[in-house]
C-alpha cells in the first residue's frame, strides 16, 4: 500500500485551466495572465468573467455581464427578513455560511447542475454575498439597511451599502483589487472542498457553503484577522522588533508570514503592500503601515532565508482596516472574492466529473475480540 501523504502535499488531485502557481518563483496566473496584470489593469467583474469563461470578454460581453451582476445585487425578500431576525452578536462568517446556504431555499430548482444553471446560481451568489454582509453589519449596528446602487460596481457598492455614503475612488479601487487578488488560488483547501462536494453531483449552494466553512479556519482565510490582532497588540513601531523576536524565540507563528506553496514573496502581497501604503497615507494610518513594514523587515532578517515571506493575509489586514472594515468583516470579504474561484472550479469539475474518493491508510489494531458489556 502506498504511504499516506499527510495534508495531501504534492498530490495532484485535479486538472485546471483556471490558475497557475509557481511557489518557488512567486508566480500566480489566472488563465495564463499574471496576477499583477489583472491587479493593475482589470476589474473584479472582468476577472470573474475570465475565470468562468477561461478567456477575457469583449467590451460588449463585459458590459452585459456587469449588468447581469448588478441586476442580482438584491437578495430574496424573505432572506432579508432572515438577516433581520439574526442575533446581532452573531459572527459574520457564520452569517455568511448560513445565508449562502439559505440562497438555495429561494431557488425553485436548487439541484440543477447543468452549466447554464450553475452559472446563473453562481452569479446570484456572487452578486448577493456583499449585500448580505452589508445588510447584516447595518442590522447589528441598529442602522437602516442601505439598498444596493445598481450604477456601482461590486466593490464600490459594498462600501456604499456598508457606510451609507460613497467611498473615495482610492478606497473603491483598493477593495476591487483585493477582490481580484482573492478570486482564485489553485487547489487550496476551500476550493478543494468545493470540488469534492460538487463531485458528488450535489448542488452549488452546498459546495459554496462547505467552501465557506473551510475558509473560516485560521489556517486558511481567517489568518488576515489574526494579522490585525497582532498589529493591535504591538503598541508602536519601535516595539515591533521586540514583539516579533520574542514570538519567534517561543516558536510562535507570526500571522501573515509563510505559505504552504510560496517559498518566495507572495505576488498578491506585492500589490497589497503598495495599496496599503497609499491607503494608510490617505486615511491617516501611516503608523499602522509603518508597523507592518517594520515587522516585515524583522522577519526578512530572521527567516527569509528559510523561504518565509509575507503572504496575502499580511498586507490585506492593513488594507481592509484603512478602508474602514471591522476586524470580523475581513474574512467574509475574502469569501465575497473567492466565490468567483469556487464557482469556476465547480463549473470546471462538473464539466468532466469524477467522484473524489481517496483511500486512507489504516493504522489501527486487527482481530480485536468484542468484550460483552457486563465484563467491561
Catalytic one of 137, 176, 266, 313:
313
Whether 313 is catalytic: yes
pLDDT at 226: 85
pLDDT at 304: 81
Whether 259 is catalytic: yes
Distance separating alpha carbons of residues 375 and 368, to the nearest angstrom:
15
Report the candidate in 280, 333, 319 with the shortest Cα–Cα distance to residue 158: 333
Quick one: average pLDDT of 304-327?
A: 88
CATH 1.10.3720.10 fits 15-218+326-351, yes or no: no
> Cell for 245?
523576536
CA angle at 183 for the pair 257 and 104, rounded to the nearest 5°: 120
**Number of residues assigned to the chain:** 376
Cβ–Cβ under 8 Å, residues 166 and 121? no
Q: At what angle do helices 330-351 and 169-181 cross, to 10 degrees?
A: 40
Integer angstrom CA distances of residue 223 from 140, 142, 217, 249? 24, 28, 8, 21
- Per residue in 143-196, pLDDT (tens digit) is 999 999 999 999 999 999 999 999 999 999 999 999 999 999 999 999 999 999
Residue 76: Cβ-neighbour burial (10 angstroms; 0-12, 13-18, 19+): middle
Whether 107 is catalytic: no
Burial per residue of 316-340, b for 16 or more beta-carbon CB atoms within 10 angstroms, e otherwise: bbbbbbbbebebebbbbbbbbbbbb
* 307 phi, psi to nearest 5 deg: 80, 25
CATH 3.20.130.10 fits 223-322, yes or no: no
Distance separating alpha carbons of residues 136 and 132, to the nearest angstrom:
6
Q: Mean pLDDT for the chain?
A: 93
pLDDT at 46: 98
pLDDT at 2: 62
Banded pLDDT at 12 (limits 50, 70, 90): confident
Distance separating alpha carbons of residues 102 and 107, to the nearest angstrom:
9
Q: What pairs with residue 33 in β-bridges?
A: 30
268 CA to centre of own chain: 13
Catalytic one of 139, 182, 185, 259:
259
> DSSP letters along 116-145, please?
HHHHHHHHHHHHHHHHHHHHHHHHHTT-PP
* Fold equal for 15-218+326-351 and 223-322: no
* 310 phi, psi to nearest 5 deg: -60, 140
pLDDT at 48: 98
Report the candidate in 177, 181, 149 with the shortest Cα–Cα distance to residue 29: 181
Q: What's 297-364 look like in SS3?
A: HHHHHHHHHHCCCECHHHHHHHHHHHCCCCHHHHHHHHHHHHHHHHHHHHHHHHHCCCCCCCCCCCCC
Dihedral sign computed on CA atoms, order 195, 183, 51, 64: positive
pLDDT at 351: 96
Q: Residue ranges of the domains in the chain?
A: 15-218+326-351, 223-322
Is 1's pLDDT higher than 60? no
Distance separating alpha carbons of residues 79 and 69, to the nearest angstrom:
18
Residue 351: Cβ-neighbour burial (10 angstroms; 0-12, 13-18, 19+): exposed
Catalytic one of 147, 149, 220, 282:
220
Quick one: average pLDDT of 121-128?
A: 98
Amino acid at each position: 500500500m502506498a504511504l499516506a501523504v499527510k495534508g495531501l502535499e504534492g498530490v495532484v488531485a485535479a486538472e485546471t485551466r483556471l490558475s497557475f502557481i509557481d511557489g518557488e518563483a512567486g508566480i500566480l496566473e489566472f488563465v495564463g495572465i499574471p496576477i499583477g496584470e489583472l491587479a493593475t489593469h482589470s476589474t473584479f467583474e472582468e476577472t470573474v468573467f475570465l475565470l468562468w469563461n477561461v478567456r477575457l470578454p469583449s467590451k460588449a460581453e463585459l458590459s452585459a455581464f456587469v449588468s447581469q451582476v448588478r441586476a442580482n445585487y438584491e437578495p430574496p425578500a424573505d432572506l432579508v427578513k432572515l438577516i433581520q431576525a439574526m442575533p446581532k452578536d452573531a459572527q459574520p462568517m457564520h452569517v455568511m455560511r448560513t445565508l449562502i446556504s439559505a440562497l438555495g431555499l429561494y431557488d425553485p430548482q436548487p439541484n440543477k447542475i447543468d452549466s447554464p444553471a450553475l452559472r446563473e446560481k453562481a452569479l446570484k451568489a456572487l452578486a448577493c454575498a456583499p449585500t448580505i454582509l452589508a445588510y447584516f453589519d447595518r442590522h447589528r449596528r441598529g442602522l437602516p439597511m442601505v439598498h444596493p446602487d445598481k450604477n456601482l460596481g461590486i466593490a464600490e457598492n459594498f462600501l456604499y451599502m456598508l457606510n451609507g455614503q460613497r467611498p473615495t475612488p482610492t478606497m473603491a479601487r483598493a477593495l476591487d483589487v483585493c477582490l481580484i487578488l482573492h478570486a482564485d488560488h489553485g487547489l487550496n483547501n476551500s476550493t478543494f472542498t468545493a470540488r469534492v462536494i460538487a463531485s458528488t453531483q450535489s448542488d452549488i449552494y452546498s459546495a459554496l457553503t462547505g467552501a465557506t466553512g473551510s475558509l473560516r479556519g485560521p489556517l486558511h482565510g481567517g489568518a488576515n484577522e489574526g494579522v490585525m490582532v497582532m498589529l493591535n497588540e504591538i503598541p508602536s513601531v519601535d516595539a515591533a522588533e521586540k514583539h516579533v523576536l520574542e514570538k519567534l524565540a517561543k516558536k510562535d507563528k507570526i500571522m501573515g508570514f509563510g505559505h504552504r506553496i510560496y517559498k518566495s514573496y507572495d505576488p498578491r502581497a506585492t500589490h497589497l503592500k503598495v495599496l496599503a501604503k497609499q491607503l494608510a497615507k490617505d486615511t491617516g494610518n501611516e503608523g499602522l503601515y509603518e508597523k507592518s513594514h517594520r515587522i516585515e523587515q524583522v522577519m526578512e532578517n530572521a527567516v527569509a532565508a528559510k523561504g518565509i515571506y509575507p503572504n496575502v493575509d499580511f498586507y490585506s489586514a492593513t488594507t481592509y482596516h484603512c478602508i474602514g472594515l471591522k476586524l470580523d468583516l475581513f474574512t467574509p470579504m475574502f469569501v465575497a472574492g473567492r466565490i468567483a474561484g469556487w464557482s469556476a472550479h465547480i463549473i470546471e469539475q462538473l464539466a468532466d466529473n469524477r467522484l473524489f474518493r481517496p483511500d486512507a491508510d489504516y493504522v489501527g489494531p486487527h482481530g480485536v475480540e468484542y468484550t460483552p458489556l457486563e465484563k467491561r
